[in-house]
Amino acid sequence: MRDFSLLEKKLNLNFLNKDLLVQAFVHRSFLNENPDFKLSNNERLEFLGDAILEHIVTEYLFKNYPDKSEGELTIWRAALVNAKMLSKIANDLGFNDFLLLSQGEEKEEGKARNYILANTFEAFIGSLYLDQGFDACKNFIEKNLIKELPEIIESGLYKDAKSLFQEKSQEIVGITPSYKVLKEWGPDHNKKFIIGVFLNDELIAEGEGSSKQEAEEEAAQKALEIKNWE
């Protein structure tokens, strides 16, 4: 078992309910091999943490950039809370050393591991909220995630394919793109998705990925190429 007191020390946090901290790191696959483990997986915490994270980032951007449009703030927020950024921060914080995974998932690296780390970051926010409240989450997110914003703005990192396609669609044809799952398959711990990007009812392109976000990003990239909007 991991020694989570080391993580608390690194993060300068002290959880009142240690089980909440541990649960944030429990991947579904771990329970398949350890069905008697006392805690459930981190997916409900991830659901909660995702909403809290978006709230805090949204409020920060709204208050600190009063001259920016809704469109710009939306794109900046997406750049802060996307899986790529969250997995980077989770890695920087040492979360990878505390993941509770199946033996098969332990061997997975690259993109698959990054999505697990991003989801764990969201679950951790959910745990922190339940244990210590909104202000603790706000301090943690501003200290560890929002600090990346100046670099994102300066280097244009916010211009991911999905954001770009939305920007171009609104600018050129006055439509906000929508995304729809066309197909999904595989076990819960290793799902695959095909997602279509639509302008009104017109299917522009499809993307495939091991998460909805990854499939949406690929669909948007293909749509940019099809529309010649790059």
The helix/strand/coil state of 176 is: coil
Cβ-contact 129, 52 below 8 angstroms: yes
Please provide residue 109's backbone torsions phi and psi, each rounded to the nearest 5 degrees: -130, -170
**In the predicted model, is pLDDT for residue 160 greater than 80?**
no
- What domains can you pick out in the chain, each with its CATH number? 4-155 (1.10.1520.10), 161-227 (3.30.160.20)
Q: Which residues pair with 208 in a beta bridge?
A: 194
Query: Smallest Cα–Cα separation from 9: which of 98, 120, 100, 130?
Result: 98
Exposure of 198 by Cβ count < 10 A (0-12 exposed, 13-18 middle, 19+ buried)? middle
pLDDT exceeds cutoff 80 at 1: no
Nearest 5°: the CA angle 134, 136, 141 is 95
Q: What is the pLDDT of residues 95-134, one digit of tens each?
A: 999 999 988 888 777 777 888 999 999 999 999 999 999 9
Mean pLDDT of 165-189: 91
CA–CA separation, 52 and 41 (whole Å): 19
Phi/psi zone of residue 200: left (φ > 0), alpha (ψ -120 to 50 degrees), beta? left
Radius of gyration of the chain (CA): 19
Helix (H, G, I), strand (E, B) or coil at 53: helix
**Euclidean distance between CA atoms 6 and 195, whole angstroms:** 40
pLDDT mean over 65-84: 88
pTM of full prediction above 0.85: no
The type of residue at 219 is: A
pLDDT at residue 157, as a whole number: 66
Catalytic residues: 50, 122
